[in-house]
A and B are shown apart, each in its own frame.
Chain A
Amino acid sequence: MRQSKNPNIDNKTDKEHMFRYSQILELRRWIKVIFRWKNFALLNVTNYLISVTKHELSTQCLSPLITGADFETMESFRSLTVTQRDQILVEQQVFDIFKTFYNLPPSSQSFMLELQRENHVEYLTKGLTGLGPSFCVLDANRPWICYWILHSIALLDEFVDPELEDNTIDFLSRCQGPNGGYAGGPGQASKILDIIIVKLLPTIFCMLTMPHLATTYAAVNSLVTLGGDKALSSINREKLYMFLRQMKDASGGFRMHDGGEIDVRACYTAISVASLLNILDDELVQNVGNYILSCQTYEGGISGEPGSEAHGGYTFCGLATMILINEVDRLDLSSLTDWVVFRQGVEGGFQGRTNKLVDGCYSFWQGGIFALLKRLNSTKGVKPIPLGDGEGSGEESPQTTASSDAAGEEGLNEDLSLGGSHSKIGDQHNTSSQVNVIDIDHNHSKGHANELNGGLRDKPGKSRDHYHTCYCLSGLSVCQRSWLEDEDSPPLPRAVLGPYSNLLEPIHPLYNVVLDRYREAHEFFTKS
């Protein structure tokens, strides 16, 4: 990586560079056209554009990568790193979608911005009833698939039919181990064969698939999302607690499974499940904070294990864990904030790590961090900063006092107010509300390419999947409310993006389950 010795030149030929460069010039021309267009309808394209248009439009607002004066020559294009060039191509794809949008008549524009709820639900429900052979690689993650699908459906304010609900509860019960926790698939052998084998082979009983913390989190969140006594009471909390204790390492961290890896994700899934089920105690909490702290890197974000690189998923997990165990003060929140604000790209999406390509799923992992930071801030009575534009903020005022909204919010604020940080995390509305540009565009460009068959994806050009559908929608839900100070008031129309019917259900940002379902579970597990 000796950058001074022309390190960024790869094997690409000049011809390819020339081709890409000409594409970029074309893109830049379009960006200028789009941003000069003063029609207010454009403001709905994305929250990202809203933020740009607020500040007297100029191409300076955009990433210097694509607009900077230094970028006038082929040579400067060639001096970029490979990742920076890939990033430009992604930006180009996204802006191409903006360009298409701009050229459409208003009626088509509004259709393009409409969340295709029915198609998404159809795609999701179909997954619940059957998956193709390509899913063999997810065979050890089936509760995850349940969670991604059920949570997405709940975000869309839809329900699965009672039979499918029963089947899900039954299936997850088969994943629940006799000694607590949930495995990646059904754990027990079929009854008849079981008897034969027990007779023929002298063996101690074991789960055919081991319980695992991540699939335990997925199963518990699935059941909480389904809601109702049957689903909630199917969780064996006593055994689950024992499983969590077994996974607890002497260092304070948690292991993913018996003999498995210790990392921040394991800590989060263990603590999240314990908190949600009301079985969190001092034994489980002990020294978890030390472990998470040891994973905050010099960049400010949190890595999976000590010594590795700060990453969006782990930063969300680490921050949420620290809030849940009431030790968030111990993190360097200023540097964490500084890291996360720089993870958003000019096209509106978030990247997982420095210099990586944006991916729709980080709309939640990174976008959710803003939701948590904002809550930490608002529960401490720090006066939020105005959005910065002055225009229209009067009647829609997101600046109301947020600190005294005690009643009706119990669960959410209770948990979030556990933290007592003295750092003043600023208002990140502007930034976090922009997360959805990629998501929506994924959806719609997908629709155009593929007859609107539902599902969301990483970025234009990729295929849809349940994971990205879940986390793009979760991110969208978070960002629709990111300008709000009062959780119970309805989001601003301009924050929803597209028709107001695009509004998704709110989530509890610490657990990523729909808020109503969280409240039901909270009540259920407080009583029992």
Chain B
Amino acid sequence: MDSREDDGGEPLSRMAEWRDVTPLPQDDGPNPVVPIAYKEEFRETMDYFRAIYKADERSPRALRLTRRAIHLNPGNYTVWHFRRLVLEALNADLDEELDFLQRIANSNSKNYQLWHHRRWRYFVVTRSPFLGGLKAMRAFEVRYTVEAILANPNNECPWRYLRGLYKDDIKALVNDPEIASVCLKVINTKNNYIFALKMLLDLLCHGFQPCHEFRDSVVALRASDTDPLDPDLSMAICDILEQVDSLRASYWIWRKNKLSVAAV
């Protein structure tokens, strides 16, 4: 938040280049609500900004002024908008502008690079113009995602990403042996298996034919041997999830009801 990088933070009223400009105060009215006790530097900068904006002066000094105003309040969309107009009018060097943006981003330090990267990656994967696009990259992505799941089965992101890789091709999800296999592996550890059970449930809902191994693994999750388990594997999974993921008990009951509706 350093507005001093260009002009030493000197008051604009004392700078020669602004002598011809009459600052334009904000008119809050006689009895404003939510009035802000502006810092002097903020008030003065905005008074000059209003004057320049009103005069629509697209000049180098106007560009410097927007820089100063953005440093003081990066959330002022009017200043950003006017800055774009000035940049266009001056045919300014946009590489320099990129540096400026980078510095603003650095001082607003919420780190979204990872998400940005992930988004970029997803875009590349799904919008690839090459034949096969998503399909061609899918095998590689699935392997990567399965590794991530096995490293930390309780991380929801890779499980959802896996679904995303098969977004418009559920049949392929059901038929990919790697998917069912990672579910089984995680369930067999008897730990952190909620997402694995959920994935297995989704597979079953879309026609997956489980072998005995799957049923045995699910049976092994029962709290006690005396609990009767629903003969239908999907129903049994819903029952188990209702118990172990009780925060979402209603959701699992709903999923179970959906199964019986589908069965009728």
Contacts and interface: CB of A to CB of B under 8 A. Distances in A.
Do A and B originate from a single complex? Answer: yes
Interface of A: 1-4, 7-8, 48, 51-52, 54-55, 60-61, 64-65, 68-70, 79-81, 84, 127-133, 135-142, 145-146, 149, 163-164, 166-168, 170-171, 174, 183-186, 188-191, 193, 196-197, 200-201, 203-204, 206, 208-210, 212, 256-260, 297-300, 307-309, 337-339, 341-342, 344, 346, 354-355, 385, 387-388, 424-431, 434
B244 interface: yes
Nearest to B253: A385
B75 A138 contact: yes
Q: Which secondary structure characterizes the binding site on chain B? A: helix
B254 interface: yes
Interface string B1-30: 000000000000000000000101111110
A140 B32 contact: no
B10 to A, nearest CB: 19
Interface of B: 22, 24-29, 31-39, 42, 46, 50-51, 53-56, 72-78, 81, 84, 114-115, 118-119, 122-123, 147-148, 150-152, 154-157, 160-161, 163-165, 167, 189-192, 194, 223, 242-244, 246-251, 253-255, 257-258, 261
B43 to A, nearest CB: 9
B122 to A, nearest CB: 7
Contact of A189 (B34, B50, B157): B50
Contacts of A203: 54-56
18 contacts: A60-B244, A68-B191, A130-B37, A133-B37, A136-B38, A140-B77, A142-B34, A168-B33, A174-B28, A190-B25, A193-B24, A197-B24, A206-B54, A307-B123, A339-B160, A354-B157, A424-B261, A426-B250
A189 B75 contact: no
Given A60-B244, A190-B25, A257-B81, A387 B35 contact: no
B243 A146 contact: no
Given A51-B246, A55-B243, A260 B34 contact: no
Given A132-B37, A138-B75, A61 B246 contact: yes
B182 to A, nearest CB: 13
A299 B164 CA distance: 7
A210 B79 CA distance: 9
B5 to A, nearest CB: 18
Contacts, number: 252
B22 A355 contact: no
B33 A167 contact: yes
B29 A171 contact: yes
A355 B247 contact: no
Given A137-B73, A189-B50, A426-B250, A127 B34 contact: yes
B54 A186 contact: no
